[in-house]
């Protein structure tokens, strides 16, 4: 086979229902058949579907594993892959696939649409056609194809709620894949991961409670890596370190990168062994933390893996 398309659900394959848009089987398949019939796509395409199809708001790490397993099972037989997905968590899934598929030797193109295929003015036909074409030509790795652009799968984020070009990605020259001599699938478990955003007046008790309840935490810091000087935050971070719970820091700023330890207000993060997420997106940081927590690693190895780029998710 030339290509394998894995349809997971999402707006691209939705139809109106009395309760609003919901996934409907057959829409994506019909569009692929139309492209082939009109000779706009000259490739043999196998179509696989998640069962049931999902709204991406309901996606979980278990779904990331199901998609990755479908790719791994066909890795040697197909020249490339397309994953159709809802846009709300598309960035999370793209990053998760990049971490899960170590040694990926095929292009995996994740795409979706802001409006369903059957609606007038839908961006779905173009995105789907572009993704199928890109899957035949792109270098190995996980990519997002959207609004005429191919974006780094481990660097992408949804930056607009409704525009056709809803996704952006930081520039990165490194390929979006985990290197390895052969494909190795790393399935996801179901760790409890929190995302905590620093804000003026944030309660130290809240931070400490989150650190106690979670297996790992993404800490969205100010600017280049500062946090409020709260005794309970310090105690919570130190307790997390003692318990072997990984914490990774990312910036709330959409551009630039962290530089932990530059300011006294961020020294606590260095002292507590918080991993520096550099210029990683929060979506990639969440997926990476899930990846690390799903592997059989000790605390030191987890920290080392969090601190180094695996698939271009952070610049050097």
Q: Which of 8, 87, 134, 226 is catalytic?
A: 87
Q: Give the CB-side neighbour count of residue 18, counting CA atoms within 13 A.
A: 0
Q: Which of 11, 65, 84, 226 is catalytic?
A: 11
Q: Which residue ranges make up the annotated binding site?
A: 56, 87-88
Q: Would you call 8 a catalytic residue per the annotation?
A: no
| C-alpha–C-alpha distance, residues 266 and 264, integer Å | 5
Q: What contacts 79, CB < 8 A, 6 or more positions away?
A: 1, 2, 3, 106, 135, 136
Q: Which residue ranges make up the annotated binding site for substrate?
A: 56, 87-88
Q: Would you call 11 a catalytic residue per the annotation?
A: yes
Give catalytic residues, as residue numbers.
11, 87
């Amino acid at each position: 086979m030339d290509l394998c398309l894995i349809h997971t659900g999402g707006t691209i394959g939705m139809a109106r229902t009395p309760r609003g848009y919901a996934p409907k089987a057959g829409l994506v398949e019909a569009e692929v058949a139309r492209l082939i019939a009109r000779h706009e796509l000259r490739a043999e395409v196998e179509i696989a579907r998640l069962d049931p199809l999902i709204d991406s708001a309901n996606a979980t790490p278990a779904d990331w594993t199901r998609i990755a397993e479908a790719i791994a099972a066909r890795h040697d037989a197909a020249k490339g892959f397309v994953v159709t997905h809802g846009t709300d968590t598309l960035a999370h899934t793209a990053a998760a696939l990049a971490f899960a598929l170590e040694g990926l030797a095929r292009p995996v193109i994740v795409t979706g649409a802001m409006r369903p295929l059957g609606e007038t003015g839908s961006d779905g036909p173009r995105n789907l056609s572009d993704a199928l074409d890109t899957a035949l030509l792109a270098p190995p790795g996980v990519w997002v194809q959207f609004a005429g652009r191919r974006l780094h799968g481990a660097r992408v984020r949804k930056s607009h709620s409704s525009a056709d070009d809803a996704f952006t990605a930081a520039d990165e020259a490194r390929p979006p894949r985990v290197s390895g001599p052969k494909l190795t699938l790393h399935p996801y478990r179901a760790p409890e991961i929190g995302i905590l955003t620093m804000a003026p007046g944030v309660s130290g008790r809240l931070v400490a409670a989150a650190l106690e309840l979670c297996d790992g935490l993404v800490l969205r810091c100010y600017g280049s890596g500062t946090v409020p000087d709260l005794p309970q935050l310090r105690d919570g971070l130190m307790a997390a370190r003692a318990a072997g719970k990984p914490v990774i820091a990312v910036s709330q700023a959409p551009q630039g990168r962290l530089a932990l330890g530059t300011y006294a207000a961020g020294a606590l993060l260095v002292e507590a062994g918080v991993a520096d997420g550099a210029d990683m997106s929060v979506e990639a940081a969440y997926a990476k933390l899930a990846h690390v927590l799903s592997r059989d690693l000790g605390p030191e190895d987890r920290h080392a893996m969090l601190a180094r780029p695996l698939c271009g998710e952070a610049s050097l």
